[in-house]
Chains A and B, each alone.
Chain A
């Protein structure tokens, strides 16, 4: 029976090609929008997860300050202590699950060599930063292992920084000026791209002691702890908090695991994806109203036919089926066209702009078709019910 209803519906749709095509286009636009926006949102989520996992999933960050809401008035206490190099050393002494415990200071400074200069992010750290952030050297060596407080005047250049300050020259052994500091280039990082939003190819890395003096800071930007196994993450975080709470006489640091960061970003981007899909769904709703309009016109035009079918023995249910199947086919066709257009659009977008992270997840394909059918069903049921309720005699006489 379903095949027969589909065959009848197809004949009816084929009888009004332009009207059918316009309705199909309406649904297709809505579905294509949903598919494309889902692909963009999901692509962004995958990109962020990939970025975080690229620097290792065994990493946790310790930040000064506590990320919680307290009842205290601003300025009435709760000012966090600095995260100092002494804190770093205390953690190194006491946390044995850690593979690396690395200080990070951050600032921006003008870096110049001769006439060439540019404003650059300056990272202060120690020799373990290379392993903790899974970086590689293109030439020379990374920061030397030495006393963390000692500020030796050496610098490691990012890939792009080296190329721009020393075009066609060997940077190793050369002297650059970082702010007021004259520093000797001891190494160049291999090309790595962007990590956590920082263009690692466009930084300079200096010993942490040097960095803190350069920016006249007593507090570290953060401490990175790399544990040996992901199962050590939570325990190590708790240990870090305990040690630093003891040192600061209050809990005023935040420990974030990579897992938590990924989960937070993932949930934010999932929400963003849903918002984008909801925006796409607005056009789908408009398309659904279009389908309903077409079906109402169809029912009005085919009133006599409905009366005839009833006279020939069709039940109200049969009539409902005839028009519901027609609406579903209309929306289903739109869904398939929209899916192809949406996927094609995403493909073209990523081909033209490879930097745009867009990937339609597999579930979106099924969901798009299901969504089209739901729209067809929702907006088709009212006209179909109207058809089914028609009195056969009135319909035959078109009254």
Chain B
């Protein structure tokens, strides 16, 4: 499903290219649950953003379902994001003036889905994450755990093929984090490909496999179960 071929990403700083990612190749199959770990500045978020079509690689090819999306124009990339990829952010990124229901329905606005259908689908998805009684609450009226569940509902509303989560439990207490991970795993169990960037070894060890990044390169692959609780392989 996801095929990265010799991907590199550089940013110009003071006229000099700084590589955030170099010669990275990886293959992720549909339905996999993959954790991406590594120290700060190792290129985890850059990798996730390239996979999420939010960044274009400077070099290499990125095949999504066999199509080289690294060469697509902006509109086509937007279409891939809209229909194939769901994003879960550490800091939620909910629109504060919209209700939970409206936030969940937001991706459908730009897909041209009728308002009545948006309402129905958003209600269903909110119910599936256990928030049907919070549909008309604004983000500031929800707990952080509830906010993250709204974000998950928003991420899956377009029935994407891949769910990308950047530190999904980073802002949550242990109990809420546990619930969120169970929710994400239940979605993965239904066939959704799940990629999680995390610093938390307890999250990483739940994945099928773990990609370890250091200095912009993949340095190791381990199985989730092989990770020891409480410690990261790069530490």
Contact of B54 among A3, A11, A318, A393 (CB under 8 A): A393
Within 8 A of A (CB), among B63-90: 74-75, 78-79, 81-83, 87, 89
A313 adjacent to B83 (CB under 8 Å): yes
B54 adjacent to A309 (CB under 8 Å): no
Q: In the complex, which of the residues A310, A311, A315, A317 has the most CB atoms of chain B within 10 Å of its own CB atom?
A: A311
B205 to nearest A CB, angstroms?
28
Q: Give A319's nearest chain B residue, CB to CB.
A: B110
A392 surroundings in chain B (CB, below 8 A): 54
If A11-B97, A396-B93 touch, whether A313 touches B54 (CB-CB below 8 Å) is: no
- For the complex, give the distance between the alpha carbons of A311 and B49 in Å: 10
Determine if A308 is an interface residue (Cβ-Cβ < 8 Å). Answer: yes
B112 surroundings in chain A (CB, below 8 A): 1
B82 surroundings in chain A (CB, below 8 A): 312-313
If A12-B97, A304-B93, A315-B78 touch, whether A309 touches B110 (CB-CB below 8 Å) is: yes
Q: In the complex, which of the residues A11, A312, A392 has the most CB atoms of chain B within 10 Å of its own CB atom?
A: A312
A115 surroundings in chain B (CB, below 8 A): none
A312 adjacent to B110 (CB under 8 Å): yes
If A313-B158, A316-B74, A318-B110 touch, whether A396 touches B79 (CB-CB below 8 Å) is: no
A312 adjacent to B55 (CB under 8 Å): no
B81 adjacent to A311 (CB under 8 Å): yes
B49 adjacent to A393 (CB under 8 Å): yes
B219 surroundings in chain A (CB, below 8 A): none
Within 8 A of B (CB), among A268-313: 304-305, 307-313
Determine if A4 is an interface residue (Cβ-Cβ < 8 Å). Answer: yes
Q: In the complex, which of the residues A11, A14, A308, A317 has the most CB atoms of chain B within 10 Å of its own CB atom?
A: A308
B142 to nearest A CB, angstroms?
17
What is the interface residue range for chain A against chain B?
A: 20 to 34
Determine if B139 is an interface residue (Cβ-Cβ < 8 Å). Answer: no
B52 adjacent to A313 (CB under 8 Å): no
- For the complex, give the distance between the alpha carbons of A316 and B76 in Å: 11
If A311-B54, A393-B49, A396-B93 touch, whether A11 touches B110 (CB-CB below 8 Å) is: no
Determine if B181 is an interface residue (Cβ-Cβ < 8 Å). Answer: no
- For the complex, give the distance between the alpha carbons of A3 and B102 in Å: 15
Q: Beta-carbon contacts of B83-122 to A below 8 Å, as 1s and 0s?
A: 1000101000101011000100011011110010000000
B55 adjacent to A313 (CB under 8 Å): no
- For the complex, give the distance between the alpha carbons of A360 and B54 in Å: 54
B111 adjacent to A313 (CB under 8 Å): yes
- For the complex, give the distance between the alpha carbons of A393 and B56 in Å: 11
A315 to nearest B CB, angstroms?
4
- For the complex, give the distance between the alpha carbons of A1 and B114 in Å: 9
Determine if A314 is an interface residue (Cβ-Cβ < 8 Å). Answer: yes
A394 to nearest B CB, angstroms?
10
Chain B interface residue count, Cβ-Cβ cutoff 8 angstroms: 27
A4 to nearest B CB, angstroms?
5
Q: Give A316's nearest chain B residue, CB to CB.
A: B74
B75 surroundings in chain A (CB, below 8 A): 315-317
Determine if A15 is an interface residue (Cβ-Cβ < 8 Å). Answer: yes
Contact of A314 among B95, B110, B154 (CB under 8 A): B110
Determine if A341 is an interface residue (Cβ-Cβ < 8 Å). Answer: no
Q: Is the interface of A mostly helix, strand, loop or mixed?
A: helix
If A8-B109, A305-B95, A313-B107 touch, whether A396 touches B89 (CB-CB below 8 Å) is: yes
A11 surroundings in chain B (CB, below 8 A): 97-98, 102
- For the complex, give the distance between the alpha carbons of A396 and B89 in Å: 10
B110 adjacent to A313 (CB under 8 Å): yes
- For the complex, give the distance between the alpha carbons of A316 and B74 in Å: 8
B98 surroundings in chain A (CB, below 8 A): 11
Q: Give B52's nearest chain A residue, CB to CB.
A: A311
Q: Give A8's nearest chain B residue, CB to CB.
A: B109
Q: Give A15's nearest chain B residue, CB to CB.
A: B97
Q: Beta-carbon contacts of A315-328 to B below 8 Å, as 1s and 0s?
A: 11110000000000
B49 adjacent to A309 (CB under 8 Å): no
B151 to nearest A CB, angstroms?
10
Q: In the complex, which of the residues B55, B106, B110 has the most CB atoms of chain A within 10 Å of its own CB atom?
A: B110
B231 to nearest A CB, angstroms?
29
- For the complex, give the distance between the alpha carbons of A314 and B83 in Å: 11
B110 adjacent to A308 (CB under 8 Å): no
A3 surroundings in chain B (CB, below 8 A): 115
Contact of B81 among A15, A313, A396 (CB under 8 A): A313
A4 adjacent to B87 (CB under 8 Å): no
Contact of B93 among A308, A315, A318 (CB under 8 A): A308
Contact of A312 among B74, B81, B102, B115 (CB under 8 A): B81
A8 surroundings in chain B (CB, below 8 A): 109
Q: Give A314's nearest chain B residue, CB to CB.
A: B110
A314 adjacent to B78 (CB under 8 Å): yes
Within 8 A of A (CB), among B3-26: none
Within 8 A of B (CB), among A45-66: none
A315 adjacent to B74 (CB under 8 Å): yes
A312 adjacent to B106 (CB under 8 Å): yes
A311 adjacent to B97 (CB under 8 Å): no
Q: In the complex, which of the residues B49, B55, B74, B106 has the most CB atoms of chain A within 10 Å of its own CB atom?
A: B106
B144 to nearest A CB, angstroms?
17
6 pairs across A/B with beta carbons < 8 Å?
Answer: A1-B109, A11-B97, A14-B97, A309-B106, A313-B158, A318-B78
8 A-B pairs with least C-beta separation: A313-B82, A312-B107, A15-B97, A315-B78, A314-B110, A308-B93, A313-B81, A4-B109
Known: A1-B112, A312-B87, A313-B79. 11 other contacts (CB 8 A): A4-B115, A11-B102, A12-B97, A305-B93, A312-B81, A312-B154, A313-B83, A315-B74, A315-B110, A317-B75, A393-B49
Residues of B in contact with A (beta carbons under 8 Å apart): 49, 52, 54-55, 74-75, 78-79, 81-83, 87, 89, 93, 95, 97-98, 102, 106-107, 109-112, 115, 154, 158
